[in-house]
Structure 1
Amino acid sequence: MEPIMNRMSQRVFQRLYRTSMLPRRTHSGCAEHTNVSASTYSKRTLLVSRLYQPSNLRDVGQDSRLQGEVTSKSQKLMQQAGLIHPSNPGCYYYLPVLVRSMEKLVRLIDQEMQVIGGQKLDMPSLCSAELWKTSERWDLMGKELFRLKDRHGADYCLGPTHEEAVTTLVAHQATLSYRQLPLLLYQITRKFRDEPKPKFGLLRGREFYMKDMYSFDASEEAAHETYESVCQAYTRLFARLGLRCVQVQADSGNIGGKLSHEFQLPADIGEDRLLICGHCSFSANVETMSSDTTDCPQCKTGTLVESKGIEVGHTFYLGKKYSHIFSASFSNAQNKSDIAEMGCYGLGVTRILAAALEVLSTEERIRWPGLLAPYQVCVLPPKKGSKVEDAAVLAEELVHTLGETRPHLRGEVVLDDRTQMTIGKRLKDASRLGYPYVIVVGPRALEETPTFEVICQEKDETMFLSKDGLLDLLGRVETV
């Protein structure tokens, strides 16, 4: 009877623990205690069983109407992990776990754009055809535009980009002064492009999220300075994400302008062909170079090597192309009206997410840029009914302690409460989903000095740490 009584006592202890006096902070910073029910505690604790991350949705490969063949590593991993689900060709549901990553990326982008003076706004996705006809891009864009008519017969398009809209907005400000320049306006919103053959999941879709910024300057010289500051901000962003990104000379395409660069993540699945010099900093998209060029035009001594890349950003110096058409002017130092110099700058938000997984992940396991991981830590209590089931209380206590003592990890720690499953099966799931840190609360947690197994997935290494050592390690984790 003794083993049975021990298990019964353990269950009673766990029940009492969940309804016990859990500490919380008062406004004065002192700890007080309050009765917290088990249901309230579970609501505060992020539980894997409660995450809407379905892995049993219909396989895209079973319905060719949705997407057809799964064509890229990132697409396969994201669908298998319940991060995305296909809706229409080139369109996806972004499920909650992925949205967490996207929101973190948006915060990073906001930080970098606002450092250089960017001001965030939001423009309509439904754009009047009259604006596009005025810029002569209504016909130039061809079938790439999603076009529609309202009930009155007026023509509209779903915006793939917003040069016309933002320039019209600025043109309506009759009192804009040179003292207010440079003016940098940006948004992060859905864009629409009628891709003839959407593929690669979020890498080439019809509906996607993009950051687009538009700059207005008093002179060509000032516009080039703004252009350079944005390029530097992009470089910082990708460095913070730990992604090797190459800035390459590019064609301006149907957006136009006198100067253009792409930001490319080198990857075998990339659709852009790049020429990169191994001797100097020169790099270019093949479409801007002569087909038989092998010598570097910048250093004259290096050899250009071809590679493939995924375009994740694009910058354009527009000059007065749009500001002249829409009369976007300002009052100069002589109090005379002058036409503004413009630039535009895009970042593919959802494409960056997919491209990062494409270059960092293995065929079986997701690897996130550390700052973009949906959750930083996953805690695994022992299997229910196992010899070390007593350690389950320590797992819950650890999650609570991390939230209380490491404020930057609040909302970043999940408890894999699916204790009907083995540790091995849950470890496999955690590895597949790419939590940067997985903590296994096993037999060594019940020793006189509790020790936790800590798996750092980014470095692919395992450590055994005391509670203090674990708190110290996770205290150094950077979050957004």
Structure 2
Amino acid sequence: MRVLLWQKILPHLPRTLTTPCRGCAGHAPLSTHTDQKPGRPPLLVSRLFQPSNLRDVGQEGRAPGETTCKSQRLMQQAGLIHPSNPGCYHYLPATVRAMEKLVRLIDQEMQGIGGQKVDMPSLCSAELWRRSERWDLMGKELFRLRDRHGGEYCLGPTHEEAVTELLASQGTLSYRQLPLLLYQVTRKFRDEPKPRFGLLRGREFYMKDMYSFDASEEAAYQTYESVCQAYARLFSRLGLPCVQVQADTGNIGGKLSHEFQLPAEIGEDRLLVCGACSFSANVETVAPDRTDCPQCQTGTLVESKGIEVGHTFYLGTKYSRIFDASFTNTQNKSAVTEMGCFGLGVTRILAAAIEVMSTEEGIRWPSLLAPYQICILPPKRGSKMDSVADLVDDLVQQLRETLPSLRGEVVLDDRTQMTIGKRLKDASRLGYPYVVVVGQSALEETPRYEVICQQTGEKLYLSKDGLVDLLRAVETV
């Protein structure tokens, strides 16, 4: 019986290959290290910490009476998330990889419009929130705590107070330093009364929040529009059909607000969209019994549901005046900055994308966010196709040498005690964009690989060179 190279060396792999990188431990899992380097064996499914539960999620996977949705069920079944406390989840390695990719995309778009990345404390002083009068306004939504000295704090659901106080503490800026756009990607906390739907409505989650400081109202509107355009580009790159709708400013406050909504039946927001013009709004901002469009006067408003994945606010001077975040203008006089704030629900985008793109049987990722792009299935151990098992080694080696952009993106399902059919079913559930089967067609005079493109459902039979050409076009981030 032929033994593959990776089967020979598996027992002798150093422990460092299966020990978490120290840089990824602790509070922030958003690392940037590469987990597959030239010369290392391929990633093996049997070694991945992905405690799959590929069956229906029963009562043991949720609180009594809790309703679930497709994304929550699929993510728990596939070992992507594991419930902890109500509204809180362990993000397991595959989810962290997808989240890291999403954060890299967000970084590209935010830094492309001048954003600078910061990291502010999750522990926020009650004194700051009292100055903005939101300590009482936010009510029970805040997680509140006291330190051993009696000092009051909250776990930050958002950071308008903190970032404005930070800017004010630096002294008066010059107009030449504006616009200034500061953003972070951090854990946020909200004491949701009824957390549900997995990562769609939790009490602890990741969010990208950006805060802008401008010298004039006109400049602030320009910044606002540039961020909205960056959001539209981001969702376009992800292949998600988001709709920008007018929204209420709520307890954030300000003069203008828009939500970015992903249409979905499970969505908790009600949207009104005009069929004749570009008008769209959350029903909160329009009389709920209105059917005619307030913008064009002729179109009919059609109601639908959506998942909010982003929110933008033009704040004006609401916070900058309170905290005296000022600058010296062109007349050498002091003035307060005009502000905006802009949020993206990082973990909510992951879950919402799975919700709208997946089948009932398996996850389908936006291609750029798939934790791994390619899964290779060797033949079952002891089958008649064992004679072509060395093609797996050749294929892995060629992919490593000719497609360096895919290093770390290829996994090998080494569970060869299982049939190809069983492993194919698992691969479909987990949502690898490309599944490569070394099966019956590899026995032909010119060996071919069965390639299943899971996003489209297309099945191809390709030579090794043809497969390499196909995968050369795969975009990664």
What is the CA RMSD across the aligned residues, in angstroms? 2.1
The answer to whether 1:79 aligns with 2:81 is: no
| Separation of aligned partners in 2, 1:79 and 1:64 | 8
Alignment TM-score, normalising by the size of structure 1: 0.91
In structure 2, relative to structure 1, the CA distance for the partners of 1:62 and 1:103 (3 Å cut) is same
Report the 3-state secondary structure (helix = DSSP H, G, I; strand = E; otherwise coil) of the residue aligned with 1:388.
helix
Per the alignment, residue 332 of structure 1 pairs with 329
Per the alignment, residue 309 of structure 1 pairs with 306
Query: Contact 1:60–1:86 (CA<8 Å) still a contact in 2?
Result: no
Shift of 1:17: 10
Shift of 1:198: 0.3
| Separation of aligned partners in 1, 2:468 and 2:171 | 57
Per the alignment, residue 170 of structure 2 pairs with 173
User: Which amino acid in the other structure matches residue 116 of structure 1?
Assistant: I
| Separation of aligned partners in 2, 1:13 and 1:150 | 57
Per the alignment, residue 451 of structure 2 pairs with 454
Residue of 275, 278, 290 corresponding to 2:275: 278
| Separation of aligned partners in 2, 1:12 and 1:61 | 39
Matches within 5 A, 1:111-130: 111-130=108-127
Larger radius of gyration: 1
Report the 3-state secondary structure (helix = DSSP H, G, I; strand = E; otherwise coil) of the residue aligned with 2:223.
helix
Residue of 191, 195, 198 corresponding to 1:194: 191
Per the alignment, residue 44 of structure 2 pairs with 47
Structure of greater relative contact order (alpha carbons < 8 Å, 6+ residues apart): 2
Query: Contact 2:44–2:411 (CA<8 Å) still a contact in 1?
Result: yes
Report the 3-state secondary structure (helix = DSSP H, G, I; strand = E; otherwise coil) of the residue aligned with 1:455.
strand
In structure 2, relative to structure 1, the CA distance for the partners of 1:84 and 1:170 (3 Å cut) is same
Aligned sequence identity (%): 78
User: Which amino acid in the other structure matches residue 474 of structure 1?
Assistant: L
| Separation of aligned partners in 1, 2:7 and 2:53 | 32
Query: Contact 1:18–1:41 (CA<8 Å) still a contact in 2?
Result: no
Query: Contact 2:38–2:400 (CA<8 Å) still a contact in 1?
Result: no
The answer to whether 1:141 aligns with 2:153 is: no
Report the 3-state secondary structure (helix = DSSP H, G, I; strand = E; otherwise coil) of the residue aligned with 2:294.
coil
Residue of 340, 344, 359 corresponding to 1:343: 340
Q: How many residues align?
A: 452
Per the alignment, residue 268 of structure 1 pairs with 265
In structure 2, relative to structure 1, the CA distance for the partners of 1:238 and 1:357 (3 Å cut) is same
Shift of 1:66: 4.9
Structure 2 residue runs of 5 or longer lacking an equivalent are 12-36
Matches within 5 A, 1:233-248: 233-248=230-245
| Separation of aligned partners in 1, 2:258 and 2:130 | 26
Q: Deviations over 1:93-117 (max 9, x none)?
A: 0000010000000000000000000
User: Which amino acid in the other structure matches residue 444 of structure 1?
Assistant: S
Residue of 408, 411, 415 corresponding to 1:414: 411
Query: Contact 1:67–1:90 (CA<8 Å) still a contact in 2?
Result: no
User: Which amino acid in the other structure matches residue 134 of structure 1?
Assistant: R
Matches within 5 A, 1:11-26: 11=3
User: Which amino acid in the other structure matches residue 242 of structure 1?
Assistant: G
The answer to whether 1:161 aligns with 2:125 is: no
Per the alignment, residue 395 of structure 2 pairs with 398
| Separation of aligned partners in 1, 2:391 and 2:253 | 61
Query: Contact 2:172–2:326 (CA<8 Å) still a contact in 1?
Result: no
Per the alignment, residue 471 of structure 2 pairs with 474
Residue of 250, 270, 287 corresponding to 2:284: 287
Report the 3-state secondary structure (helix = DSSP H, G, I; strand = E; otherwise coil) of the residue aligned with 1:208.
strand
Shift of 1:11: 3.8
Query: Contact 1:60–1:68 (CA<8 Å) still a contact in 2?
Result: no
Shift of 1:55: 1.8
| Separation of aligned partners in 2, 1:188 and 1:300 | 41
Report the 3-state secondary structure (helix = DSSP H, G, I; strand = E; otherwise coil) of the residue aligned with 2:224.
helix
| Separation of aligned partners in 1, 2:3 and 2:434 | 29
| Separation of aligned partners in 2, 1:450 and 1:18 | 27
Per the alignment, residue 102 of structure 1 pairs with 99
Residue of 220, 223, 233 corresponding to 2:220: 223
In structure 2, relative to structure 1, the CA distance for the partners of 1:446 and 1:65 (3 Å cut) is closer
Per the alignment, residue 23 of structure 1 pairs with none
Query: Contact 1:67–1:88 (CA<8 Å) still a contact in 2?
Result: no
Shift of 1:391: 2.0
Per the alignment, residue 185 of structure 1 pairs with 182
User: Which amino acid in the other structure matches residue 207 of structure 1?
Assistant: E
Alignment TM-score, normalising by the size of structure 2: 0.91
Structure 1 residue runs of 5 or longer lacking an equivalent are 1-6, 20-39
